[in-house]
Amino acid sequence: MPGRDTFDAFVIARRGALLRTAYLLTGSHADAEDLVQVALLKAVPQWERIADHPEPYVRRILARESITRHRRRRWREVTAAELPETAIDIDPVDREALRRALLTLAPRQRAVIVLRYYEDLTERETAELLGIGVGTVKSQTRDALARLRLPGVVATG
Amino acid sequence: MSTLHERLAELAEDAPVGGALPEDLWDRGRRIARRRRLGTATIAAVACLALALVGVLGWQRGRTSVEPAAPGSAPAMPDQLYQPSGWLGSFGGSPGTLAAVFPARREHLLRSEAGIVGVSATTGRYGFLDLPDVAAGSDEVALSADGRRLAYWITGRTSGSPRTTAGDPVTGFAVFDALTGHTERVPIPTPHGLDPEQLAWSGDGLLLVEHGQWSGGDDDSADLQSTGRVMPPMTWRADRGLQPIEDRAELGVWSQSAGGHDWLMQVDDGDRRWAIDNLRTGEVWQMPQPNLAFEFPGPAISPEGTLLAGTHAGTAYSAGQSRTLSIVDRHGRVVMSVGGRATVALYWPDDKHLIAQRAVSADADDTALESLDVRTRRWTPVVTGPGVHTGNVSTQFAAFDLLAVPTRSAVPPPRPLGQRVVVGTSAVIVLVGGLAIVLWRRRARP
C-alpha cells in the first residue's frame, strides 16, 4: 500500500518544481513555501488514490489554492481600485518588474498565465485544472496579456 | 527577442529552494484529514439526530393513544369534545357511528381546504371524513341523532353559467353513511348554483332541505349574481328520495326531538301564529306566536310537540353573555324562563329533559352540553368541549341519541406536527448542518 515512503520520495523529487510554480503564482518566497506545504498536506489524505501519478492533483490544488486564498484573505493583492488604468511596460531584463507586473493581475489571470506559458498546458488542460471553461481561459489570457505589455516578448502557445 | 515562457522560467529561478523538508508533513496531513472527517461526521450525526427527533416528535404527536375498540363495543358519547387539529389524518373509509362532527380547515403542505372532522363513537378517535365533493366553506352539515348519517352540501356542474364568487357552485347535497362509508349524492337541478340554507335530520331518517337558487352566474351582471329566490323546502329520505313540502313556504325550524316525530314549525304566517306540523301523521297544531324573539338557532320542540325551548336576549349570541332560556307550551305561554350563561337549546331527549349548549366561561370555545331537568330546573353537565359557538354552524353536530346512554371517558385527539413545520424544520436542519460542515472544513484547513 503506498504511504509515507512514496510521499516523501515525491516531495523530495518535485518540491523544487512546485516551489517555482508557486512562486510565480504568489510572487513571494514565504507564500510560495506555504502554498506548496498546504498543497502537499491536502494531498496526504488522497495519497492512496493518487500515488501512482500525484503531480496533476498536487498542481491542481496549488493553482486553485492560490486563487481561493486570495478570495479569503485578499492577501498581497493590489485592490482593483489601485490597478493601473493602462498596461504596464516591463523592462525585458528586469525580473522584479515582471514579478510586480504579475502581481497586478487578478489571481485567476495570473494562474492562467503561469499554467499556459510556464507549465505549457493547453487551453483545455488549463481549464480542467482550474475548473473553469475554455472560453474563460481564452478571455482571461487575452486580458492578462493586454495588461502585461511585454516589449521584446513573444507570447507563444 | 524572448518568449513569455522564457521570461517566466527566468523569474521562477528566484523561487525559494525550500530548505529542509518538514519531517512531520505526512503525519500532519493525516491528523488534519482525521480532524476534518471527525468534525464532518459529528456535524452530520448531530443533523441526523435532529432530523430523527423531528420525525419521532411528528410521529409521537400524530399517534393516538386510543385503544382499538373491542368488537361489538357499543357507541357512546365521549364526556369531552376537543377542538381538532387541521393536520389530523383521515378515517379512510367508514369511521363507524359518529359521536360528533366539526367543520375544520384541513391543512396540506401547500394549501388548506374545508373539511369535516368526525369523532368515532366506538373508539373516540378523531379524523377527517372523506366526503366527496364537499362544498368549500359550507359549515352547514347535519349529523343524524343516531350518529350514522351525515348530510352535507356538494359541488358539481350547473346547467348555466356557474356562480363561483364563493367557490365552486353548490349543486345538491349528499348523505354519508358512517357505517358503510357509502355516499349518496342527491343533485338538485340548478342553472347557477344553490344558496345552501339548512340541512336537518329528524328522528327517523327524514332530512329537511332548505335552499335558494342564485339568479345569475359569472357571466351575468353583479346584480343577478347577488340575488336569488328562496325555494320551497323539501324532505329527503333514502327510500323515497326528494319530495317538496306542500304549502309550507315559511319554514323556520326543524324539530330535533327524539322518538322519530317529524315536527316542523312554520313561522310568521301573517297572523303572528305558528304551526306545529307532524309530517308523518299530518297533524297540525296552530298556536299564537309567543311574545318572545327567539334567536338562531330557533326553538327545539319536545318529542310530543308540547314544549318549545329557545333563547332570547335581543342581542347577538356571544359566549359569556347572559341569555334567557324560555320554554313555551302549545298555547304560546311561557312555562319556564332560566337566565344565566349563554345557551343554545339543542335537543329534547324526552319531554322532561332539554339538552343545551352552555358557555362555561367567557371563552367562546369553552362550552359544555348540559341537561336541564324542566321539573327541577337543575342543570347537569353531560359533555364538555368546543361544540358550536357561532350562529353559522349547524346545531346537529352531535349524535344526540347517544346521550341516552352513559358517556365514555374521552381521550384527547393527537396534535400532529404540521407538514409545514416538519418540512421547514428539516430544511433548516439540513441547511445549518451543511453550513456548519462547510465552515468546519474551512476552519480545519491545513
Q: DSSP for B243-299? A: EEPTT-TTEEEE---SSS--EEEE---SSSEEEEEETTT--EEEEEPPSS-PPSS--
Other CB atoms within a 10 A radius of the CB of residue B320 amount to 14
Are A72 and A105 in the same domain? no
pLDDT tens, position by position, A36-50: 998 999 899 889 889
Domain, as residue range, for A36: 1-76
Task: Search chain A and give the residue with CA nearest B25.
Answer: A41
pLDDT tens, position by position, B386-440: 654 444 456 788 888 888 888 888 888 888 888 888 889 999 999 999 999 988 8
Q: Flag whether pLDDT at B94 surpasses 50.
A: yes
pLDDT of residue A72: 57
Q: Are A41 and A3 in contact (CB under 8 A)?
A: no
Tell how far CA B254 is from the center of its chain.
Answer: 23
* SS3 label, residue B64: coil
What φ, ψ does residue A114 adopt, rounded to 5°?
-65, -45
In a domain, A138, yes or no: yes
C-alpha grid cell, residue A14 = 518535485
Q: Using the beta-carbon criterion (under 8 Å), do B2 and A154 form an inter-chain contact?
A: yes
Q: Using the beta-carbon criterion (under 8 Å), do B18 and A15 form an inter-chain contact?
A: yes
Q: Using the beta-carbon criterion (under 8 Å), do B29 and A118 form an inter-chain contact?
A: no
Q: Measured between CA atoms, how close is B25 to chain A, in angstroms?
A: 7
- Most confident among A148-157, B341-350, B366-375 (mean pLDDT): B366-375
Tell whether A7 lies on the interface with B, counting CB pairs under 8 A.
yes
Nearest to A4 among B4, B17, B26 (CB): B26
Q: Residue B78 belongs to what H/E stretch?
A: none
* C-alpha to C-alpha distance for B105 and B103, rounded to whole angstroms: 7
Per-state percent for chain A, helix, strand, coil, to nearest 5: 70, 5, 25
Are A70 and A1 in the same domain? yes
Tell whether A98 lies on the interface with B, counting CB pairs under 8 A.
yes
Higher pLDDT residue, B174 or B366? B174
Q: Where among A58, A76, A94 does a domain terminate?
A: A76
> Measured between beta carbons, which residues in chain A are less than 8 angstroms from residue B22?
37
Higher pLDDT residue, B127 or B343? B127
pLDDT tens, position by position, B193-227: 999 888 888 766 778 888 899 999 888 888 888 88
* C-alpha to C-alpha distance for A60 and B407, rounded to whole angstroms: 77
Higher pLDDT residue, A41 or B342? A41
> Measured between beta carbons, which residues in chain A are less than 8 angstroms from residue B25?
7, 11, 37, 40-41, 44
Mean model confidence pLDDT for chain B: 80
Residue A44 is given by DSSP the state G
Q: Flag whether pLDDT at B190 surpasses 90.
A: yes
Higher pLDDT residue, A1 or B228? B228
Higher pLDDT residue, B297 or B290? B290
What is the domain partition of chain B in residue ranges? Answer: 27-63+418-446, 290-392
Tell whether A38 lies on the interface with B, counting CB pairs under 8 A.
yes
Task: Search chain B and give the residue with CA nearest A93.
Answer: B7
Q: Using the beta-carbon criterion (under 8 Å), do A20 and B12 form an inter-chain contact?
A: yes
pLDDT of residue A62: 92
* SS3 label, residue B227: coil
Q: Using the beta-carbon criterion (under 8 Å), do B28 and A41 form an inter-chain contact?
A: yes
Tell whether A100 lies on the interface with B, counting CB pairs under 8 A.
no
> Measured between beta carbons, which residues in chain B are less than 8 angstroms from residue A21?
12
Q: Flag whether pLDDT at B185 surpasses 50.
A: yes
pLDDT of residue B41: 92
pLDDT of residue B248: 52
What is the mean pLDDT of the segment spanning B167-177?
93
pLDDT of residue B405: 84
* C-alpha to C-alpha distance for B124 and B113, rounded to whole angstroms: 24
Are A66 and A86 in the same domain? no
Across the A:B interface, residue pairs with CB atoms under 8 Å apart total: 107
In a domain, A93, yes or no: yes
Q: Using the beta-carbon criterion (under 8 Å), do B5 and A114 form an inter-chain contact?
A: no
CATH of the domain at A140: 1.10.10.10
Q: Where among A49, A76, A103 does a domain terminate?
A: A76
pLDDT of residue B258: 52
Tally of structural domains, chain A: 2
Given pLDDT bands bounded at 50, 70 and 90, which one contains residue B247? low
Give, to the nearest 10 degrees, the angle between helix B4-12 and helix A95-103: 100
Task: Search chain B and give the residue with CA nearest A116.
Answer: B5
pLDDT of residue B319: 47
pLDDT of residue A82: 42
Are A104 and A91 in the same domain? yes
What is the mean pLDDT of the segment spanning B49-75?
73
Nearest to A117 among B8, B14, B18 (CB): B8
Least confident of B17-26, B169-178, B312-321: B312-321
Are A62 and A2 in the same domain? yes
Are A40 and A97 in the same domain? no
Q: Using the beta-carbon criterion (under 8 Å), do B446 and A37 form an inter-chain contact?
A: yes
Are A72 and A91 in the same domain? no
Q: Using the beta-carbon criterion (under 8 Å), do B4 and A4 form an inter-chain contact?
A: no
> Measured between beta carbons, which residues in chain B are less than 8 angstroms from residue A156?
3-5
What φ, ψ does residue B35 adopt, rounded to 5°?
-60, -45
C-alpha grid cell, residue B104 = 375544520
The ipTM (two decimal places) reads 0.81
pLDDT of residue B392: 42
What is the mean pLDDT of the segment spanning B105-134?
87
Tell whether A153 lies on the interface with B, counting CB pairs under 8 A.
yes
Are A105 and A34 in the same domain? no
Check whether the bond before B297 is cis (ω within 30° of 0).
yes
In a domain, A121, yes or no: yes
C-alpha grid cell, residue B75 = 357507541
pLDDT of residue B69: 54
Q: Flag whether pLDDT at B149 surpasses 80.
A: yes
Q: Flag whether pLDDT at B46 surpasses 70.
A: yes
Are A4 and A69 in the same domain? yes
pLDDT tens, position by position, A87-107: 455 555 577 888 888 888 888
Task: Search chain B and give the residue with CA nearest A148.
Answer: B4
In a domain, A137, yes or no: yes
Q: pLDDT in tens for each of the 157 residues of chain A?
A: 568 889 988 998 999 999 999 999 998 888 899 899 989 998 998 898 898 899 999 999 999 998 887 665 554 444 444 444 444 555 555 778 888 888 888 889 999 999 999 999 999 999 999 999 999 999 999 988 888 776 555 555 5
From residue B146, alpha-carbon distances to A103, B96, B202, B258, B383 in Å are 89, 11, 10, 10, 17
Q: Where among A43, A76, A109 does a domain terminate?
A: A76
Are A67 and A99 in the same domain? no
pLDDT of residue A96: 83
Are A70 and A105 in the same domain? no
Are A98 and A30 in the same domain? no
> Measured between beta carbons, which residues in chain A are less than 8 angstroms from residue B10?
95
Residues of chain B whose C-beta is under 8 A from some C-beta in A? Answer: 1-5, 7-18, 21-22, 25-26, 28-30, 32-33, 445-446
> Measured between beta carbons, which residues in chain B are less than 8 angstroms from residue A23?
11-12, 14-16
Q: Using the beta-carbon criterion (under 8 Å), do A98 and B7 form an inter-chain contact?
A: yes
> Measured between beta carbons, which residues in chain A are less than 8 angstroms from residue B12?
20-21, 23-24, 118
Q: Using the beta-carbon criterion (under 8 Å), do B10 and A95 form an inter-chain contact?
A: yes
Task: Search chain B and give the residue with CA nearest A15.
Answer: B18
Q: Measured between CA atoms, how close is A82 to chain B, in angstroms?
A: 24
Q: Using the beta-carbon criterion (under 8 Å), do B26 and A7 form an inter-chain contact?
A: yes
Nearest to B14 among A23, A44, A156 (CB): A23
Q: Using the beta-carbon criterion (under 8 Å), do A12 and B21 form an inter-chain contact?
A: yes
In a domain, A110, yes or no: yes
